[in-house]
Amino acid sequence: MKVNLGFGSHNSHDWDRVLAGAFGERPATPDSECVQATLAIADLAEPLGFDGIWMPEHCGTPYGMTPNPIQALSYFAGRTDRVSLGTFVVVAPWWHPVRLAHQIAYLDILSRGRYSTIGIGRGVSKGEFAAVGIPREESRQRFNETLDILQLALSGERFSYRGEIFTVPEMSLRPEPQSRDLFSRIYSSSSTAESLEILARRGMVPLFVGNKPIADAGREVQQVNIFRQEEGLAPCQPKNVMFMYCTANAEAAAKSEEWIWTANRDVTVHYGFADASNFKGVQGYEAYAAREASATAVLASSVTGDNKGATRTPGYHASNLLIGTPEEIFNRVRAAQQACSFSELTVVPQFGTMPYEEAMASTRLFAEEVLPAVHRMDAPLHPAALPENALA
């Protein structure tokens, strides 16, 4: 099975200043240092034997800090020869579809065809949508029209398009991409049942980013394959993203509790999950309002300083956390693949307030003692993920 490294540049210690509104002060650690540290870990991917480098899209807060993942991957296209490249994810509604199609095509050329996972999502954060001037209420329509236009643009033919939001005159994508199968490399990330069905019926293959129990993700794979069967499509396997901290002994793994807790806090604040008013009445986002109670619990523990139960707080589910000794992590990977049938794994080696030097050491240990065994591991589509095994 292939294993990639996934990154977002986090300045997690700066949330205290941001939440206090102390914007007259400078961050104790400059964002540039966080970005450079992230790039340094990513530089390990090829020499340590990983299969790819993945980047997300986030801006405006200390969380994620990768405003253009295709730009970041272009940097690595020029620094590497072998590894594949992936996005988890490009937030389609923030882009004009023709610009996005050209960016994808150009990275395909720069990397000589190595942009192998074009992860695309709809976006969630109220603040990020506001910053780029895109109404969230339009996100689903923009996402669907972007997929339409990408399918036309990446076909290699002249095309035009007229939708509710976008109108594209007859044109050609120039330069044309090197690869002829780019649209088939698009994977979709969704967090609601409605989006999952819409995308599955369009033929999109899921990309899971560790925000639900792995068993739930497995059931969603089966549901996706039911929808695909109804549309006359073959079954598919998702790709999964999971947090990773590899340590030589079990005692050292306890350090990760704080980092997981801060990662969950960062997600809660960045996306505004603790305030249901960010989502109620917003078309396509109503389901997120239900997260208010659990998200408020995360923030309440930040006020009291009670973050000792980090692995129990809502957020990244324990079944998606590859934390422990090399043997423990290998067993977790195997169990997760059996539960979810993913074909490829991306591990995120730095999250929350984890020091970047810890992430660097963990990545090296994983590469030495876990990666070879996972490379030898089969990644089959298990019977439980097939439509015929669904309960009546």
**47: Cα separation from own chain's centroid:** 23
Least confident residue range of 84-98, 222-236, 293-307: 293-307
> pLDDT by residue (tens digit) across 292-337?
645 555 555 554 455 544 444 456 788 889 999 999 999 999 999 9
pLDDT in tens, 327-367: 999 999 999 999 999 999 999 999 999 999 999 999 999 99
pLDDT at 299: 57
Structure tokens at 173: 């994508």
**Do residues 272 and 379 lie in contact, with contact meaning Cβ atoms separated by under 8 Å?**
no
The tens digit of pLDDT for each residue in 181-218 reads: 999 999 999 878 888 999 999 999 999 987 788 999 99
Can you tell me the distance from the alpha carbon of 182 to that of 152, in angstroms, rounded to the nearest whole number? Answer: 11
Q: Which residues contact 148 (CB under 8 A, 6 or more apart)?
A: 161, 163
Task: Taking the CA atoms of 20, 25, 29 and 34 in sequence, report the sign of the dihedral they define.
Answer: positive
Look at residue 304 in the predicted model and tell me its pLDDT.
Answer: 45
Rounded to an integer, what distance in angstroms lies between the CA atom of residue 268 and that of residue 278?
12
Fill in the DSSP letter of residue 307.
Answer: -
3-state secondary structure at position 70: helix
CB 173, CB 153: distance < 8 Å: yes
Residue pLDDT, tens place only, 96-118: 999 999 999 999 999 999 999 99
Question: Is the pLDDT reported for residue 229 higher than 90?
Answer: yes
Average pLDDT over residues 72-100: 98
Residue 294 pLDDT: 58
In angstroms, rounded to a whole number, what is the distance separating the alpha carbons of residues 103 and 144? 18
Averaged pLDDT, 23-40: 98
pLDDT tens, residue by residue, 127-171: 999 999 999 999 999 999 999 999 999 999 999 999 999 999 999
Residue 246 has pLDDT above 70, yes or no: yes
Q: What is the CA radius of gyration of the chain?
A: 20
For residue range 250-291, what is the model confidence (pLDDT) as tens digits?
A: 899 999 999 999 999 999 999 999 999 999 999 889 888 877
Q: How does residue 391 score in pLDDT terms, banded at 50, 70 and 90?
A: low
- CB of 150 within 8 A of CB of 186? yes
> C-alpha 107: how far from its chain's center?
19
